[in-house]
């Protein structure tokens, strides 16, 4: 009954905001759209379609809002007007009751709040669709922030995800054109992200790793995790003090160095990607503070991305080739990474990339948007069979956020000049003497364990006992092969006799 009620609510919201036109807009003939428009002639739709979609998701509640936020990152799938509008979605979710928050902390940590903390602020300082945050003081006067999952979230999420998946399945069946947008794949990707965010121990581990990667940094601060106060549903970390990155007036009053922040933001991103292979994938302004010393403070570590050497090699080659206008190099990088079919015609792929990218160079380097470049490369590659790489979609979304933030702080930011040293350093570490030295260092522990064993292994291989065992095994294999051959010969003879007998009968 609950599922039916929720489904009817979704259908009503879809009708109210005119969402029926989205798949129908893909109907080449427009016939279905005209039929629906005539049937619903009394309905007035004054807002643009992207605005109506955003308002519908906000009406449906926090899980759908979060789904819209995730959709806004898939610019490789969505029209630009829809992706831009969905970026405006915010987690405007009322906090849940303080008594429930306290009860969840006590249940998860196994002790009363009064014993766990010297002080616990019952009023939350932040509330989102998945969790809310309360300030507290640990024994010894340590100021902390306690993140608490909303109670009973799993059944609600499971229910809404099932409805989303059912809707995506119906969409694929009803409108063939929609399949190129892979709606069920998008829902599965969203489900994975959402379930990761429900495990606060995973988020705590992400924060701990990022903090270790930037230990001693004068560019990025990451809160310390207090593991004795962490469970799957509760995460306790150091309370960080700073100004919101979006509060430009207060930043100016505090004397923050905007140019330093702009440059540092780009450097932090490329360090995470090419040095650490582990990056914060949710770097929107709500997750960033700034200290009075012009140092970034990172918050909320539920969504992180990671890259392997193939990913990094692909990115470095693409960016360097792009800015050298080596479009064949861009095309070859896609083939080498295995992300387009090996039979792809390089010349045709190169020509398509040139047509998209060459107009970009009419602008100064300082005006070229890296994130948009990467998006255009994805979109062009899809025509040649490119399969979407989720980790690169996360990276592209993060790069768009970093660029937008950097140019807000410093409109003259030249992202290419800042990024180039990291890309060139990465490439030099993969090839030549530096690459060889790095690989030798990585393999040295394995070789150190193997080298002392080599004399014994050689001696065992050459010993009479080992030789006799190998000879006996070889004889067994040869005998088995002879037996198999004899059986095949017998089968062939029987088949020949059968054919001869059949022919004789037919002639008679």
The answer to whether residues 54 and 108 belong to one domain is no
**What stretch of H or E contains 278?**
strand 278-280
Lowest mean pLDDT among 223-237, 428-442, 443-457: 428-442
Q: Residues of the chain with pLDDT > 70: what percent?
A: 73
CA distance linking residue 426 with residue 438, whole number of Å:
12
CB atoms within 10 A of CB 304: 20
CA distance linking residue 103 with residue 46, whole number of Å:
46
For residue 397, the model assigns a pLDDT of 76
For residue 195, the model assigns a pLDDT of 80
In a domain, 408, yes or no: yes
In a domain, 370, yes or no: yes
**Largest Cα span, the chain:** 112
Each residue's pLDDT tens digit, 398-430: 887 787 788 888 888 777 777 777 777 777 776
CATH number at residue 110: 3.30.200.20
The answer to whether residues 327 and 306 belong to one domain is yes
The answer to whether residues 321 and 400 belong to one domain is yes
In a domain, 437, yes or no: no
**Whole-Å CA distances, 46 to 4, 26, 88:** 30, 21, 19
In a domain, 497, yes or no: no
For residue 149, the model assigns a pLDDT of 92
Q: What angle do CA 283, 429, 443 make, to 5 degrees?
A: 105
In a domain, 452, yes or no: no
How does residue 310 score in pLDDT terms, banded at 50, 70 and 90?
confident
Each residue's pLDDT tens digit, 92-123: 678 889 999 999 999 999 999 999 999 999 99
For residue 10, the model assigns a pLDDT of 74
Number of independent structural domains in the chain: 3
Token couple for 49? 């379609």
The answer to whether residues 219 and 163 belong to one domain is yes
How does residue 281 score in pLDDT terms, banded at 50, 70 and 90?
confident
What are 147's strand-pairing partners?
A: 133, 235
How does residue 303 score in pLDDT terms, banded at 50, 70 and 90?
confident
In a domain, 31, yes or no: yes
The answer to whether residues 295 and 233 belong to one domain is no
Tell me which of 43, 74, 91 is where a domain ends. 91
Each residue's pLDDT tens digit, 318-372: 777 877 888 888 888 888 877 788 788 888 988 988 887 787 766 665 667 777 7
Distance of CA 74 to the CA centre of its chain: 10
Higher pLDDT, residue 253 or 76: 253
Spatial CB neighbours of 280, under 8 Å, sequence gap ≥ 6: 210, 272, 287, 298, 301, 303, 304, 305, 398
In a domain, 1, yes or no: yes
Catalytic residue list: 282
Lowest mean pLDDT among 117-126, 211-220, 280-289, 466-475: 466-475
Tell me which of 379, 407, 430 is where a domain ends. 430
59: burial class by Cβ within 10 Å (0-12, 13-18, 19+)? middle
CB 141 within 8 A of CB 108: no
Residue 234 pLDDT greater than 90, yes or no: yes
The answer to whether residues 284 and 371 belong to one domain is yes
How does residue 395 score in pLDDT terms, banded at 50, 70 and 90?
confident
The answer to whether residues 97 and 202 belong to one domain is yes
Q: Residues of the chain with pLDDT > 90: what percent?
A: 23
In a domain, 487, yes or no: no
What proportions of the chain, in percent to the nearest 5, are helix, strand and coil? 65, 10, 25
The answer to whether residues 229 and 297 belong to one domain is no
Sheet holding 220-221, edge to edge: 220-221, 296-298, 288-290, 243-244
Each residue's pLDDT tens digit, 49-75: 788 888 888 887 777 777 777 777 666
CA distance linking residue 419 with residue 374, whole number of Å:
14
The answer to whether residues 250 and 203 belong to one domain is no
Higher pLDDT, residue 395 or 448: 395
Each residue's pLDDT tens digit, 127-181: 887 889 999 999 999 999 999 998 887 777 887 788 778 777 777 776 665 565 6
The answer to whether residues 216 and 252 belong to one domain is no
What is the residue whose two structure tokens read 């809002």? 65
Task: Identify the three-state secondary structure at position 23.
Answer: helix
Tell me which of 45, 65, 91 is where a domain ends. 91
Print the domain residue range for 87: 1-91
CB 57 within 8 A of CB 67: yes
End-to-end CA distance of the chain: 78
Higher pLDDT, residue 133 or 9: 133
The answer to whether residues 225 and 236 belong to one domain is yes
The answer to whether residues 228 and 160 belong to one domain is yes
C-alpha atoms less than 13 angstroms from C-alpha of 24 in its C-beta half-sphere: 13
């Amino acid at each position: 009954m609950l599922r039916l009620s929720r489904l009817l609510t979704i259908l009503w919201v879809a009708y109210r905001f005119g969402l029926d036109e989205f798949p129908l807009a893909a109907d080449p003939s427009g016939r279905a759209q005209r039929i629906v428009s005539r049937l619903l002639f009394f309905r007035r739709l004054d807002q643009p379609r992207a605005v109506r979609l955003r308002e519908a998701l906000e009406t449906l509640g926090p899980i759908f809002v979060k789904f819209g936020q995730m959709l806004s990152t898939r610019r490789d799938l969505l029209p630009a007007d829809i992706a831009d509008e969905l970026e405006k979605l915010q987690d405007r979710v009322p906090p849940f009751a303080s008594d429930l928050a306290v009860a969840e902390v006590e249940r998860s940590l196994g002790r009363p709040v009064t014993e766990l903390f010297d002080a616990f602020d019952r009023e939350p300082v932040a509330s989102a669709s998945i969790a809310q945050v309360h300030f507290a003081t640990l024994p010894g006067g340590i100021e902390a922030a306690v993140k608490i999952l909303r109670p009973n979230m799993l059944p609600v999420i499971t229910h809404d995800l099932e409805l989303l998946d059912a809707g995506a399945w119906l969409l694929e069946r009803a409108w063939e054109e929609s399949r190129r947008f892979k709606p069920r794949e998008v829902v599965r990707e969203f489900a994975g992200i959402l379930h990761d965010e429900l495990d606060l121990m995973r988020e705590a581990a992400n924060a701990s790793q990022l903090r270790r990667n930037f230990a001693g940094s004068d560019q990025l601060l990451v809160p310390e995790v207090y593991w004795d106060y962490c469970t799957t549903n509760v995460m306790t970390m150091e309370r960080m003090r700073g100004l919101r990155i979006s509060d430009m007036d207060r930043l100016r009053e505090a004397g923050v160095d905007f140019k330093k922040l702009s440059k540092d933001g780009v450097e932090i991103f490329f360090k995470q990607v090419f040095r650490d292979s582990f990056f914060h994938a949710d770097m929107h302004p709500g997750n960033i503070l700034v200290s009075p010393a012009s140092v970034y403070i990172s918050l909320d570590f539920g969504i992180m991305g990671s890259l392997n050497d193939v990913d990094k090699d692909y990115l470095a080659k693409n960016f360097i080739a792009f800015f050298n206008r080596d479009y064949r190099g861009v095309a070859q990088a896609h083939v080498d990474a295995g992300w387009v079919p090996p039979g792809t015609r390089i010349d045709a792929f190169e020509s398509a990339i040139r047509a998209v990218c060459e107009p970009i160079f009419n602008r100064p380097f300082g005006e070229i948007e890296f994130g948009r470049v990467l998006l255009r490369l994805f979109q062009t590659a899809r025509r040649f069979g490119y399969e979407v790489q989720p980790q690169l979609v996360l990276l592209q979304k993060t790069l768009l956020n970093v660029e937008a933030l950097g140019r807000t702080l410093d409109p003259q930011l030249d992202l290419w000049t800042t990024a180039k040293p990291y890309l060139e350093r990465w490439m030099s570490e993969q090839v030549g003497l530096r690459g060889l030295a790095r690989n030798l260092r990585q393999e040295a522990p394995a070789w150190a364990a193997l080298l002392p064993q080599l004399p014994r292994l050689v001696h065992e291989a050459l010993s009479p006992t080992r030789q006799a065992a190998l000879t006996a095994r070889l004889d067994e294999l040869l005998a088995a092969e002879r037996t198999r051959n004899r059986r095949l010969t017998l089968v062939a003879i029987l088949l020949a006799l059968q054919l001869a007998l059949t022919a004789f009968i037919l002639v008679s």
